[in-house]
Amino acid sequence: MTRFLVTGKNGQLGFELIRSLQALGEVIAVGTPELDLGRPEHIPARLDALRPDVIVNAAAYTAVDRAETEADVAMRVNAEAPTAMGQWAKGRGAALVHFSTDYVFSGALDGARREEDDTEPRSAYGRSKLAGETGLMDCGAAAIVLRTSWVYSARGTNFVRTMLRLARERTELRVVDDQHGSPTWARTLAEATSALIARLGKDPRSVTQSAGDLRGIYHLSCQGATTWFEFARAVFEAFPDDRRVLAALRPISTSEYPTAASRPRNSVLDCSRIASRFGIRMPAWDEALALLSQERTTNCILASS
């Protein structure tokens, strides 16, 4: 039986991965107390104790604006830690799946970004994530890196929960309407990741061999594109209890909402490579949002934010 190690067990993606991977083998889930990514020098010893066949790294430093003043912390967690995991995996014959981000691109160009396009991160967070990708590819591990974008779920801190909370606290919401991307539900991302791993093989050796043969960077997000403003409008339409805020929803430009870290103007990812190599196709972003809204008790979960 394949032994999976999922990091970031308390995060929105980690939570969903634990559920989806259980059908494929034994799942060990860890958070910072069990595996502190901020101390990458301790990672090999912890992995020796846990002995995973496949590491699925869903943990990351995601405080995009704070990373501008904590670049060293972001680099340890997002670059040095996954590189240490990759080096351990290579030495032990294990496989690794790691999640990255659209922030590795500048966002200045139009059209969907392909994996081979030039990267030019414009934030400390983006630079740390790109360094993590590079470290994994350079160490030669049987590693698959999945770049995704605009992740949300019914738990954790994300755009959907924030919008619904603010709708109950404010009379007007001003949302950026000139940044483009593909909102991605954490559950569809986790299920697609599990489907990808299932296609690699049924036992640890075949998974590692296949991951080594297919190692590289892949884009994986929901299909289609929208702006933050249109995404907010869709959120309120999907959750009718908060529809009253629609009249107070106002589009603004990026320049009207300054942040410490630069955001990509265009975060749309071309996912054709993962479709052709693994047969993995994600639903349209609005279809995934509708699935979330249809879940029993979802409104209650989101309302507790």
DSSP code string of 185-250: EHHHHHHHHHHHHHHH-SSHHHHHHHHHHT-EEEE---BS-EEHHHHHHHHHHHSGGGGGGGGGEE
Residue 297 is assigned to a structural domain of this protein: no
Residues paired with residue 249 on neighbouring β-strands, in sequence order: 173
Report how far residue 77's alpha carbon sits from residue 121's, in angstroms, rounded to the nearest whole number. Answer: 17
Q: What is the pLDDT along the chain (305 residues), one digit of tens a residue?
A: 999 999 999 999 999 999 999 999 999 999 999 999 999 999 999 999 999 999 999 999 999 999 999 999 999 999 999 999 999 999 999 999 999 999 999 999 999 999 999 999 999 999 999 999 999 999 999 999 999 999 999 988 999 999 988 888 888 899 999 999 999 999 999 999 999 999 999 889 999 999 999 999 999 999 999 999 999 999 988 987 655 555 588 999 999 999 999 999 999 999 999 999 999 999 999 999 999 998 744 444 454 44
Q: What is the CATH classification number for the domain harbouring 88?
A: 3.40.50.720
Residue 234 is assigned to a structural domain of this protein: no
pTM value? 0.94
How many structural domains comprise the chain?
Answer: 1
Phi, psi torsion values for 127, nearest 5 degrees: -65, -35
Residue 129 is assigned to a structural domain of this protein: yes
Nearest CA-CA partner of 68 in 151, 127, 8: 127
Residue 108 is assigned to a structural domain of this protein: yes
Residue 175 is assigned to a structural domain of this protein: no
Residue 126 is assigned to a structural domain of this protein: yes
Residue 16 is assigned to a structural domain of this protein: yes
Residues labelled catalytic: 125
- Print the domain residue range for 91: 2-158+184-223+268-283
